[in-house]
Amino acid sequence: MTHPGEITRRQLLRRIGLTAFVAGPGAGLLSACATAGTGGEPSAAPSTSIAASTSPQNPFGVDAKKPLEVVIFSGGYSDAYAKDLHEELYKKAFPGVTVKHTATQQIGTQLRPRFVGGDVPDVLNNSGPESMDLAALAAEGHLADLSVLFDAPSVDDPAKKVRDTVTPAVLDNALINGKDLVLNYTVSHRALWYNAKLFESKQWAVPTTWAEFTALGETAKKEGILLFAYPGQKGPYYQLWNVLYTAAKIGGNQVIIDLDNLVDNAWNAEPVKQAVAAWADIQAKYGDKAYFGLDHTQTQVKQLQNKLLFYPVGSWVENEMAKDKPMDFEYAIAPIPDVTGSDKMPYGAIQVGVGENFVVAAKGKNPQGGLEYLRIMLSKEGARGFTEKTQNLTVVNGAAEGLDLPAGLMSAARAQDKAGQNIITDARFEGWYKELFDYGTEQINVVMAGRITPEKFCANMQKKADGIKKDDSVAKQTRNQ
């Protein structure tokens, strides 16, 4: 039943598929190390040759006798969607084929030596705190060209190209150095997440201004509840994202675009300073430094126990904590409150993006099979099954029609609908300049702990950005929106 003022699930899904990404949000988790000695220009990758014996059913000419190796980041989405769904669909397409499946949370630790040694998997789900530097891998010719995938006939309708079945943000965010090298598979909403049932029981309103936010902090403190917390271990980038999105809320998306483009003094811009100062003040007055010693799962358990109100994370959290979530907890999304009286983006602006990176190894043993595996993932059966298993949406248009979505995801979709065109863009330097993003995740803990001032944080980040800008060995990227 639809309540007055709400929209139907069908409407939500249609808007997610057709209008969510007009602002061109950036890619997802693209940090951590790749291999050493990356140059400024991409080296020529081995051509992913397509066999002559192709068909709409096998557009890449996959050799059914060749094994396929798939490495999956087993985080918030787990790895069952790959092992029990996508890999089984691949085996169905090529009876008798062997698929080697590896699940890990240590992508960089496990994969870096393999890329150096030339023994690479065919498909890599590059995600999590140890995800590899895709710009560096691209510079070394490790990533297969995905333009052939996007131009291939779709599994569901050979008359349609794959590129015509996905949200346009997939194509925008596939690019590294102007080449289609990355597939972002999921739709995510990043903002402040809270327990709607707790707020209902306390008759608390979700704050829309910073004054209301701090007033709620005082009320919650009296009841022994933190207003806000983030994980200081294996998750400080959650708070770095939060600060960046707050800066965009204050000064508009151009703030983040300037950071990505390494514009002079971009980190010293007033909206960035205001955002860092606002959150450092929240931490000092309403936070707990003990959370700096917790990882993301431990922090999320604290929230499930109603020990903290707001947590900066993405919509994957609902599935990640599904087994631990008590009956009296209902995930809901809250936009960042108005920070100043003159924020460029109105209350309700939220970040919506595509993420969960997949790449095919150009120097792998079976790149054709890797491309076909991604094509199967982008089928409606592959995408719908992913949503059923993870309770998260994919980038495939219409694939989740009719599914019973969880409360948190419905909350996020409603928030997205209310935001309209006020979508906060993602920071692409996360994937473009690993060293800068990793440094930011270190510095955010330092400033939030009160060991440096917000001004010093911005100065430190600017100095690091300037060094990268002057380093000719680092390939530079640019964006217009």
Q: How many Cβ atoms from other residues are within 10 Å of residue 334's Cβ?
A: 20
For residues 8 and 475, what is the distance between their CA atoms, to the nearest angstrom?
Answer: 45
Largest CA distance in the chain: 71
Best mean pLDDT range from 44-58, 307-321, 419-433: 307-321
Residues 145/371, Cβ–Cβ less than 8 Å: no
Residue 298 tokens, joined: 């431990």
Q: Domain 14-188+353-404: state its class.
A: alpha beta
Where exactly are the structural domains of the chain? 14-188+353-404, 189-351+428-470
pLDDT at position 254 is 98
Mean pLDDT, the chain, rounded, equals 89
The 10s digit of each residue's pLDDT in 249-261 is 999 999 999 999 9
**CATH number for the domain running over 189-351+428-470:** 3.40.190.10
Local confidence band at 29 (pLDDT 50, 70, 90 cut-offs): very low
Local confidence band at 49 (pLDDT 50, 70, 90 cut-offs): low
The 10s digit of each residue's pLDDT in 221-234 is 999 999 999 999 98
Residues 67/121, Cβ–Cβ less than 8 Å: no
Contacts of 193 (CB under 8 A, 6+ apart): 303, 310, 311, 312, 313, 317, 331, 332, 333, 334, 408
pLDDT value at 94 more than 50: yes
Local confidence band at 169 (pLDDT 50, 70, 90 cut-offs): confident
For residues 286 and 300, what is the distance between their CA atoms, to the nearest angstrom?
Answer: 17
Give Cα separations from 12 to 164, 331, 366, 397 (angstroms): 20, 18, 38, 12
For residues 58 and 2, what is the distance between their CA atoms, to the nearest angstrom?
Answer: 43
pLDDT at position 277 is 98
CATH topology identical between 14-188+353-404 and 189-351+428-470: yes
Q: How many Cβ atoms from other residues are within 10 Å of residue 15's Cβ?
A: 15
Q: What is the pTM of this model?
A: 0.77
Q: Angle formed by the axes of helices 270-286 and 236-251, to 10°?
A: 130
The 10s digit of each residue's pLDDT in 214-224 is 999 999 999 99
For residues 162 and 383, what is the distance between their CA atoms, to the nearest angstrom?
Answer: 13
pLDDT at position 199 is 98
Residue 358 tokens, joined: 């997949």
Q: Angle formed by the axes of helices 9-19 and 407-419, to 10°?
A: 60
For residues 139 and 114, what is the distance between their CA atoms, to the nearest angstrom?
Answer: 17
Residues 419/404, Cβ–Cβ less than 8 Å: no
229 secondary structure, DSSP code: -
Local confidence band at 35 (pLDDT 50, 70, 90 cut-offs): very low
What would the mean pLDDT of 329-352 be, rounded to a whole number?
97
pLDDT value at 24 more than 80: no
What would the mean pLDDT of 281-294 be, rounded to a whole number?
97
